[in-house]
A = this chain, B = another copy of it.
Amino acid sequence: MKPKLVRGTRDFSPAVVNKRNYIFDTLRSVFVKYGFNPLETPAMEELSTLTGKYGDEGDQLLFKILNNGDYLAKANETALNNKNSSQLTASISQRALRYDLTVPFARYVVLNRNDIAFPFKRYQIQPVWRADKPQKGRYREFYQCDVDVIGSESLLYEAELCQIYDEAFAKLNLGVVIRLNNRKILDGLAQYAGYPNLFTQITVAIDKLDKIGWDGVQKELERLGIDELGFEKVKAVINAPDIPTLKTIFAGIEVGLKGIEELETVQAFLEGYAFKNTLKIDFSLARGLSYYTGCIYEVEVDTSIESQKDIKMGSIGGGGRYADLTGIFGLKDTSGVGVSFGAARIYDVMEELNLFEQIPVSSSNVLFLAMDEAALKYGFKALQKVRAAGISSTIYPKAWKFQKLMKYADKVKVPYVVIIGSKEMESGALGFKNMTTGEQQSLNIEAIIEQLKSE
């Protein structure tokens, strides 16, 4: 039989795992520095835990797991007779693969509420699964990377998350713009425009501003029944040049002023912190997801940087504060704030910008090559010394002709090669080749180790 991959999934070959782990290790080091703790939840959740949390469309995209054993024994008879798949599912499938990391996190917090010391700062980097139609850049299995703090309303955390975005991308050498806004300002905007009940719809329209422009937004608002004056007021808020101006506009609109106050508190916490990227208060930032209630974030590649000017990629991160994430599982009034890193997009951008140049393709720093049997034994002993010095290395396991061995070395993309034949064994001066520069030296094994250590 000819095997195949499940459509929409990928193998991660060594070179890809090395690059991806470089991203994850970098993020992890920043999360830990800020006192966030690692959490992992199982791949499978009870179907009832997941159903209804992602809308009807999300329910369709859950990968459901068939019950084991004689699952038809407990199958819904009516559904079976009518061949009604969607009606049958609940009776033959009790579990599903996680769709995101947020719902399992909420489930974890509720189950462990008595043991957790709140505020609980956690990060989580795990794959999720969605039965989406596979297409370019959209997979059925992909990693999510979330960092959240739950059980506190303090805006100190909003400030920390700005810092985490800043430090993480600085460490990855990727210049970004971190956009910050507050959903209460959008709430104030709806009131100011005279349509407080259309808050959600107005937010959705503004969320599209980047794509459809003001003309497009105006049309959307018209369709919602918002008049010219309303539209002008929306525009005035979004285009307010600074916080003092917006304060004047929001005079008397409590929720709007509260949103401004929150932004100012975050700014106060950040006083004295030297951003390596751009933090931009942006009143047009809306975020589609409706459960955000306070500050919201979005991160984009900074295309004003010359080397990054050609990057076309939407958001590579985002998040915000939610007043009641655990409410769905019966734990009320537990406020949280969190952000995610779009790992796959970050990977793609870094690949495009050649930011992985320093990441080794091969685990081995040195490859030993032997031209006869005696040299192979000699080489295996020399290899022990290199490894004892803590240097990753390996040996081609057969004696072979020089050209054949070098062809193998090229294929495995190893940075250095040590070549041993009868001449080298006799003199103790081994062939030491830098595969990047092509430079070749004759050195004894101790000198080779010294040079590798000094790299």
Query: Chain A, 69-97, contact with B by CB distance < 8 Å: what is the 0/1 string?
Result: 11111010000100111101100110101
Contact call B111/A4, Cβ cutoff below 8 A? yes
Minimum CB–CB distance from A94 to chain B (whole Å) comes to 8
Q: Whole-angstrom distance between the alpha carbons of A384 and B32 in the complex?
A: 14
Residue from A63, A73, A396 with most neighbouring chain B CB atoms (10 Å): A63
Contact call A381/B272, Cβ cutoff below 8 A? yes
Q: Does A195 contact B (CB under 8 A)?
A: no
Residue of B nearest to A362 (CB): B37
Q: List 12 A-B contacts (CB under 8 A).
A: A1-B328, A11-B108, A12-B39, A13-B112, A35-B364, A36-B363, A63-B68, A66-B89, A69-B85, A70-B85, A72-B88, A272-B381
Interface size class of A (residues with CB under 8 A): 35 or more
Contact call B12/A40, Cβ cutoff below 8 A? yes
Stretch at the interface among A200-208, A229-237, A343-351, A386-394: A386-394
Cβ contacts under 8 Å, A70 to chain B: 85-86
Partner of A42, one of B11, B49, B131, B156: B11
Cβ contacts under 8 Å, A45 to chain B: 6
Contact call B32/A13, Cβ cutoff below 8 A? no
Near B by CB (< 8 A), chain A positions 105-143 give 107-108, 110-112, 117, 119, 121-122, 127, 129, 131, 140-141
Partner of A92, one of B38, B66, B68, B152: B66
Q: Does A435 contact B (CB under 8 A)?
A: no
Query: Chain A, 355-386, contact with B by CB distance < 8 Å: what is the 0/1 string?
Result: 00000001110010000000011001100100
Contact call B44/A73, Cβ cutoff below 8 A? no
Contact call B44/A72, Cβ cutoff below 8 A? no
Cβ contacts under 8 Å, A95 to chain B: 6
Contact call A154/B398, Cβ cutoff below 8 A? yes
Given that A6-B95, A272-B381 are contacting pairs, would A35 and B65 also be in contact in the complex, using a CB cutoff of 8 Å?
no
Q: Whole-angstrom distance between the alpha carbons of A3 and B47 in the complex?
A: 10
Q: Does A18 contact B (CB under 8 A)?
A: yes
Q: Does A48 contact B (CB under 8 A)?
A: yes
Contact call A9/B66, Cβ cutoff below 8 A? no
Secondary structure class of chain A's binding surface, majority of residues: mixed
Partner of A131, one of B68, B88, B390: B68
Q: Does A60 contact B (CB under 8 A)?
A: yes
Minimum CB–CB distance from A292 to chain B (whole Å) comes to 20
Minimum CB–CB distance from A148 to chain B (whole Å) comes to 13
Residue of B nearest to A379 (CB): B156
Contact call A156/B395, Cβ cutoff below 8 A? yes
Q: Whole-angstrom distance between the alpha carbons of A145 and B397 in the complex?
A: 24
Q: Does A309 contact B (CB under 8 A)?
A: no
Q: Whole-angstrom distance between the alpha carbons of A110 and B85 in the complex?
A: 36
Near B by CB (< 8 A), chain A positions 372-430 give 376-377, 380-381, 384, 387, 390-398, 408, 411-412
Contact call B33/A387, Cβ cutoff below 8 A? yes
Q: Does A34 contact B (CB under 8 A)?
A: yes
Cβ contacts under 8 Å, A73 to chain B: 83, 85
Contact call A117/B380, Cβ cutoff below 8 A? no
Residue of B nearest to A156 (CB): B397
Contact call B14/A37, Cβ cutoff below 8 A? yes
Given that A2-B329, A85-B69 are contacting pairs, would A117 and B408 also be in contact in the complex, using a CB cutoff of 8 Å?
yes
Q: Does A314 contact B (CB under 8 A)?
A: no
Cβ contacts under 8 Å, A432 to chain B: none
Contact call B71/A85, Cβ cutoff below 8 A? yes
Contact call B17/A38, Cβ cutoff below 8 A? yes
Q: Does A238 contact B (CB under 8 A)?
A: no
Q: Does A10 contact B (CB under 8 A)?
A: yes
